[in-house]
């Protein structure tokens, strides 16, 4: 049996879910990987044996192989019972449901974003290291943290905008099953204000966004935050931004796969906007819901204080 994935021109967060499944199944189950056919901008951070550059190369590879493959798409419609279990188990269930026995005459193709983050979250450290090992990534990541006072609480603030719909008024429940909606900037501002008040002089904010404008610059100036925008890095800016958020001590999240990966790569306290369909399935043990209460959630504050205390003891 072989596994592969169809990778399109989507944002890196959703695209990486497919690659994560291949990496995990190769590592944990020893399955051979038929390189994915790849049509997006992130090839520089993917092991060279995991992708072809386009469909034609994949087609030639299949024609040249003496084994005939039966292709099955591992997508939403085909694995409804497997969406929230580890990917290795999900693959086993998928094979049982389709009467497969592990024959090498089968090619299973991962597609879509399900099973998603909840199915790969137990492998966060491994996946982080896989991205970090890519050429040029470590030096770029190190550049991000040069000059920052790492004795402070480093808080990533992920503000997703570009391809998301305009925000709804603060506190307005989102329509069912709609995730691609901007969180009001005032929510982020309120969180940053309360966070800097809770730990005066001990917080360094790092804002990552795909669309900066006057309001974003104003927010960063107000809280002396480091602003990261797409294009800041010489190569693979999305990947470096993701690893930067993952390396922070805490996260103020957007309703985005990108934020989810940053949490599961390196578990940390994080805040979630409750109007985005309540608590997401990933990273549940460390997450806190917050709208606009007088103070931030006690769990988040306690975890942040613990991180600061640990840093002080290491000095």
Q: What is the mean pLDDT of the chain?
A: 86
Question: Mind listing the pLDDT tens digit for each residue in 137-195?
Answer: 888 889 889 889 989 999 999 999 888 999 999 999 999 888 889 999 999 999 999 99
Distance CA 246, CA 116 (A): 18
Return the domain boundaries, the chain.
2-121, 137-314
Question: Mind listing the pLDDT tens digit for each residue in 30-53?
Answer: 988 887 766 666 666 677 677 666
Strand, coil or helix: what is 306?
Answer: helix
Q: How many CA atoms lie within 13 A of 182 on its CB side?
A: 18
Q: Is the pTM of this model over 0.85?
A: yes
Is residue 218's pLDDT more than 80?
A: yes
Strand partners, 38: 7
Predicted pLDDT of residue 208: 94
Nearest alpha-carbon partner for 199 in 59, 300, 275: 300
Nearest alpha-carbon partner for 304 in 273, 268, 279: 268
The pLDDT > 70 percentage for the chain reads 85
Predicted pLDDT of residue 166: 95
* Cα 28 to chain centroid, rounded: 21
CATH 3.40.50.2000 assigned to domain 137-314? The reply is yes
Is residue 303's pLDDT more than 60?
A: yes
Predicted pLDDT of residue 216: 94
Alpha-helical regions (H) of the chain: 12-29, 55-64, 87-97, 117-120, 124-132, 137-145, 185-198, 214-223, 237-247, 257-265, 298-314
Are the beta carbons of 265 and 124 closer than 8 angstroms? Answer: yes
Question: Mind listing the pLDDT tens digit for each residue in 57-101?
Answer: 565 566 666 667 788 888 766 666 777 789 999 998 888 888 887
Token pair in block for residue 302: 């306690």
């Amino acid at each position: 049996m072989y596994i592969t994935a169809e990778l399109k021109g989507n944002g890196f967060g959703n695209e990486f879910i497919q690659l994560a499944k291949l990496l995990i199944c190769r590592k944990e189950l020893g399955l051979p990987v038929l390189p994915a056919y790849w049509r997006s901008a992130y090839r520089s951070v993917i092991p060279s044996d995991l992708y072809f550059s386009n469909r034609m190369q994949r087609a030639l590879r299949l024609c040249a192989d003496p084994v005939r493959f039966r292709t099955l798409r591992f997508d939403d419609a085909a694995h409804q019972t497997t969406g929230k279990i580890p990917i290795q188990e999900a693959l086993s269930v998928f094979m049982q449901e389709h009467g497969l026995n592990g024959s090498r005459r089968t090619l299973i193709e991962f597609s879509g974003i399900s099973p998603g983050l909840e199915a790969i979250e137990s492998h966060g450290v491994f996946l982080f290291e896989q991205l970090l090992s890519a050429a040029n990534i470590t030096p770029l990541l190190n550049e991000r943290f040069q000059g920052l006072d790492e004795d402070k609480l480093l808080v990533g603030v992920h503000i997703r905008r570009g391809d998301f719909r305009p925000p709804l008024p603060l506190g307005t429940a989102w329509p069912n099953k709609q995730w691609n909606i901007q969180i009001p900037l005032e929510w982020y501002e309120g969180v940053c204000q309360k966070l800097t008040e809770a730990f005066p002089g001990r917080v360094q904010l790092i804002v990552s966004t795909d669309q900066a404008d006057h309001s974003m610059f104003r927010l960063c100036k107000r809280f002396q935050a480091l602003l990261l925008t797409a294009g800041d890095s010489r190569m693979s800016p999305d990947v470096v931004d993701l690893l930067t958020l993952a390396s922070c001590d805490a996260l103020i999240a957007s309703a985005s796969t990108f934020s989810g990966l940053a949490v599961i790569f390196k578990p940390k306290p994080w805040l979630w906007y409750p109007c985005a369909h309540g608590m997401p399935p990933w990273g549940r043990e460390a997450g806190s819901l917050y709208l606009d209460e007088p103070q931030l959630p006690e769990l988040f504050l306690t975890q942040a204080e613990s991180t600061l205390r640990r840093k002080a003891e290491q000095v």
